[in-house]
């Protein structure tokens, strides 16, 4: 049996850093803007990723989490969806902050909007991460956008990949 050489420690550190930056914003959004609570959840998710070999190298490239990116986000969602953090407006989220309306949405709605708009995940991928039917994902996104804008969205661009 041929041994596969392990990546250099610098490469592993780089992969962990890239994955933690990718996941951190999502964790903060899910936990209502509380950064101190988000760090532990991201760290625990990275441990799971290491245990399950979610960091991969393809054709001699540096290790990356890209191939298992959806699994990372799903694992993080499962960790934070049941947690309740007492968010203090004015301390955790600054009063008058432009994101206050966003943080008044429910956890699922914030998470869906964040991954769809900031991370450009497809509806199908969101369906996998949140274990929801595609129609339910679309409905939640539409309702969340309506609440954020205070009116119905006139037009939503649809990517072929969504169908």
Domains identified in the chain and CATH numbers: 1-90 (no CATH), 105-163 (1.10.10)
Residue 96 has pLDDT above 80, yes or no: no
Average pLDDT over residues 82-88: 77
Among 56, 29, 35, which Cα is nearest to 117's? Answer: 29
Average pLDDT over residues 66-91: 86
The predicted structure's pLDDT at residue 7: 66
Cα(116)–Cα(111) distance, rounded to whole angstroms?
8
Cα(124)–Cα(115) distance, rounded to whole angstroms?
12
Which pLDDT band holds residue 163 (cuts at 50, 70, 90)? very low
Average pLDDT over residues 40-66: 88
The predicted structure's pLDDT at residue 162: 46
Average pLDDT over residues 32-37: 83
Report the range out of 61-70, 92-101, 152-161 with the highest average pLDDT: 61-70
Residues facing residue 56 across a β-bridge: 64
Cβ atoms 31, 37 nearer than 8 A: yes
Stated as kind and residue range, the H or E segment containing 143 is helix 134-149
- For residue 161, CA distances in Å to 9, 91, 157 come to 37, 40, 12
Computed over every residue of the chain, the mean pLDDT equals: 84
The predicted structure's pLDDT at residue 134: 96
Cβ atoms 28, 115 nearer than 8 A: no
Which pLDDT band holds residue 99 (cuts at 50, 70, 90)? low
């Amino acid at each position: 049996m041929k041994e596969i050489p392990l990546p250099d420690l610098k490469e592993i550190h780089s992969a962990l850093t890239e994955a933690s930056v990718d996941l951190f914003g999502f964790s903060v959004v899910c936990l209502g803007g509380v950064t101190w609570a988000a760090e532990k959840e991201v760290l625990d998710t990275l441990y799971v990723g290491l245990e399950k070999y979610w960091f991969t190298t393809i054709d001699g490239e540096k290790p990356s989490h890209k191939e298992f990116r959806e699994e990372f986000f799903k694992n993080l969602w499962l960790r934070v969806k049941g947690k309740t953090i007492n968010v203090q407006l004015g301390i955790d989220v600054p009063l008058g902050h432009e994101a206050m309306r966003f943080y008044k949405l429910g956890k699922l709605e914030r998470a869906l909007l964040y991954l769809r708009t900031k991370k450009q995940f497809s509806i199908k991928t969101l369906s996998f991460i949140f274990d929801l039917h595609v129609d339910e994902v679309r409905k939640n996104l539409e309702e969340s956008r309506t609440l954020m804008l205070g009116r119905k969205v006139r037009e939503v661009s649809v990517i072929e990949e969504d169908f």
